[in-house]
Amino acid sequence: MTIAQQITPANRHLPDLNAAARGLYIDGQWRPSHSGRQIDVVDPSTGGILATVPDATIEDARASVDAAAAAAPSWRATPPRKRSEILRRCFELMIDRSDMLATLISMENGKALRDARGEVAYAAEFFRWNAEEAVRISGEFAIAPSGTNRIIVDYQPIGICLLITPWNFPAAMATRKIAPALAAGCTVILKPASETPLTAYALAAIYEEAGVPKGVVNVLTTTNPGPVTSTVLADPRVRKLSFTGSTGVGRQLLAEASKHVISCSMELGGNAPFVVFDDADLDAALDGAMIAKMRNAGEACTAANRFYVQSRIHDAFAKGLSDRMSALKVGSGVEADTDCGPMITRKAVDKISRLVDDAKGKGARVLCGGEAPSGSGFFYPPTVLANVSAESEMAEEEIFGPVAPIYRFETEQEAIDLANDTEYGLAAYVYTRDLARGLRVSSAIEAGMIALNRGLVSDPAAPFGGVKQSGLGREGGQHHGIAEFMEAKYIATSF
Ligand code: NAP
């Protein structure tokens, strides 16, 4: 019996796949696509088909902009307290349905249930946080330096927003955008990744139940993302693009948005260094390394991609990491004792295999794992590589899998130079008992986020985002996330 067959709507804690796949969500209605075509949603642990969802066309894209435009005036005029209460209700319903949502995420994305539960809690928190932010949007009032007039600054919703999200956090990447956009008074069109659409639709049903009015959130799935999203961006009523995904697609979308001078927020790829100094607490560094590498089986933009370990602690760290990685249980994400689920697609496994083979060919020593198993499902074992050459492709590219390459370094400056030797600048990890050194190195590393003696940076209350080719703008944080969805209006007046 497949996992899909075991799930019945009779159990409220388990997902109803048919309900999650019932249609595009436009103007508060579940609709078929204009094309009538469907997209297969694949179970990464077997390669079998879980469900199908509609494949939207440019006509559906136009309908979603019409719906978002029709809903915009009244949502913008809805009192902040009322918007806040609706967002708070979204949070409560997500927590109430967290078992169902976590199982659904695990089924379509493959991640271990433990990780999926963590994601639901993280995703829901964006609604709680932005429910609180919705009633704290304030403006500015000042006397002009000349003394001739007053300066009033009003923050207004930016307008209709196109939100595009990846498959690796199907709930959190969507709520991290939707919650602040709605708090700011915007209406949105979400285009989730075609590998993981079911979570986006299950969440849309929750928003509806929480009282989000029709047309405020619209969800489209498509196998034709370029033309469909270009249609949305070309509509002059659309004023914002918020994208999370690869740097390559981000660049294409920035070019597309530039034609219409649309405000862009970009959460792009990473290549996080994990730096361990000789004086680090070894056990704490290993605990942190396991979180930084293995949350989501390595399929995270913040995943530690390069382990730089100082010479004296190098061998103990490498042994400790390989002992821990080889003890992990690999299996279907929905099994309760799975630590490392399958990768998202066969293509992802092939990419990881290519990077590991390249590193091996350049002298890397395999301490554990290192080869994809045969059989069904898209699995790759937890892998530790030592003696990795800085010339390896994996030093440059996101591995996006459970592979930890270890590089040796001698001096603090060398660690900083190695950490910065990448076009990316999203997250970085530093382990040392010397606080002055920790802060010095944190300041010198070119990244939007530094975890100092911690394996996790993500927090809805902190500004998330990158520098260099890792992105533009911030999500979450005290005012940062919501500010991306507002426009400042300045009024000059005298009295
Ligand atoms: P991706 O291939 O860039 O896809 C992301 C989204 O863009 C998907 O919804 C995809 O749709 C859509 N898309 C693809 N081509 C498009 C086009 N020409 N026009 C418009 N939309 C298009 O990335 P991914 O493989 O899903 O996700 C992994 C990447 O996301 C990694 O690089 C990771 O580091 C990054 N990421 C960054 C953050 C962050 O916060 N910085 C967080 C998570 C992930 P389809 O699914 O239909 O192709």
Helix (H) or strand (E) holding 54: strand 49-54
* 3-state class (DSSP) for residue 124: helix
Cβ–Cβ under 8 Å, residues 257 and 161: no
Give the separation between CA 475 and CA 459, rounded to whole angstroms. Answer: 10
Cβ–Cβ under 8 Å, residues 94 and 218: no
Cβ–Cβ under 8 Å, residues 135 and 84: yes
Cβ–Cβ under 8 Å, residues 405 and 306: yes
- Cα of 367 from ligand 1 centre, angstroms: 32
Q: Is 426 in the pocket of ligand 1 (CB under 6 A)?
A: yes
Q: Is 267 in the pocket of ligand 1 (CB under 6 A)?
A: yes
Mutate to test the pocket of ligand 1, among 251, 259, 301, 459 (most ligand atoms within 8 A of CB): 301
Tell which atom from ligand 1 comes closest to the C-alpha of 223: 47
List the structure tokens of 438. Answer: 């920790």
Cβ–Cβ under 8 Å, residues 240 and 159: yes
* 3-state class (DSSP) for residue 31: strand
Give the separation between CA 430 and CA 411, rounded to whole angstroms. Answer: 14
Domain with CATH 3.40.309.10 in the chain: 272-460
Cβ–Cβ under 8 Å, residues 143 and 93: no
Q: Is 246 in the pocket of ligand 1 (CB under 6 A)?
A: yes
Q: Is 170 in the pocket of ligand 1 (CB under 6 A)?
A: no
Q: Centre a 10 Å sphere on the Cβ of residue 152 and count the other Cβ atoms it contains.
A: 14
What does the radius of gyration of the chain's CA atoms come to, in whole angstroms?
A: 23
Q: Is 166 in the pocket of ligand 1 (CB under 6 A)?
A: yes
DSSP secondary structure string for all residues of 194-215: TTSHHHHHHHHHHHHHHTPPTT
- Cα of 243 from ligand 1 centre, angstroms: 8
Cβ–Cβ under 8 Å, residues 165 and 193: yes
Rounded to 10°, the helix 113-134/172-184 angle is 10
Residues serving a catalytic function are: 267, 301
Q: Centre a 10 Å sphere on the Cβ of residue 59 and count the other Cβ atoms it contains.
A: 13
Which class is domain 272-460?
A: alpha beta
What's the fold here for domain 3-268+470-492?
Aldehyde Dehydrogenase; Chain A, domain 1 (3.40.605)
pLDDT at 3: 44
pLDDT at 18: 83
Report which DSSP code applies to 168: S
Give the separation between CA 270 and CA 227, rounded to whole angstroms. Answer: 27
Tell which atom from ligand 1 comes closest to the C-alpha of 470: 41
Residues 185-223: b if buried by 16+ CB within 10 A, e if exposed: bbbbbbbbbbbbbbbbbbbbbbbbebebeebbbbbbbbe
Tell which atom from ligand 1 comes closest to the C-alpha of 248: 3
Angle CA 425–434–279, to nearest 5? 95
Mutate to test the pocket of ligand 1, among 24, 38, 244, 426 (most ligand atoms within 8 A of CB): 244
pLDDT at 13: 57
Tell which atom from ligand 1 comes closest to the C-alpha of 464: 40
pLDDT at 328: 98
* 3-state class (DSSP) for residue 184: helix
Q: Cα torsion at 280, 286, 287, 293 (round to 10°)?
A: 120
Give the separation between CA 219 and CA 225, rounded to whole angstroms. Answer: 13
Tell me the residue ranges of DSSP E strands in 245-332.
263-267, 272-276, 304-310
List the residue whose alpha carbon is closest to atom 23 of ligand 1.
245
Mutate to test the pocket of ligand 1, among 115, 168, 344, 474 (most ligand atoms within 8 A of CB): 168
Q: Is 229 in the pocket of ligand 1 (CB under 6 A)?
A: yes
Domain with CATH 3.40.605.10 in the chain: 3-268+470-492
Cβ–Cβ under 8 Å, residues 151 and 141: yes
Query: pLDDT 10s per residue in the chain (495 long)?
Result: 344 444 444 444 578 888 888 899 999 999 999 999 999 999 999 999 999 999 999 999 999 999 999 999 999 999 999 999 999 999 999 999 999 999 999 999 999 999 999 999 999 999 999 999 999 999 999 999 999 999 999 999 999 999 999 999 999 999 999 999 999 999 999 999 999 999 999 999 999 999 999 999 999 999 999 999 999 999 999 999 999 999 999 999 999 999 999 999 999 999 999 999 999 999 999 999 999 999 999 999 999 999 999 999 999 999 999 999 999 999 999 999 999 999 999 999 999 999 999 999 999 999 999 999 999 999 999 999 999 999 999 999 999 999 999 999 999 999 999 999 999 999 999 999 999 999 999 999 999 999 999 999 999 999 999 999 999 999 999 889 999 999 999 999 998
Q: Is 225 in the pocket of ligand 1 (CB under 6 A)?
A: yes
List the structure tokens of 68. Answer: 């978002």
Q: Report CA-CA distances (Å) from 57 to 6, 19, 114.
A: 33, 21, 36
List the residue whose alpha carbon is closest to atom 19 of ligand 1.
226
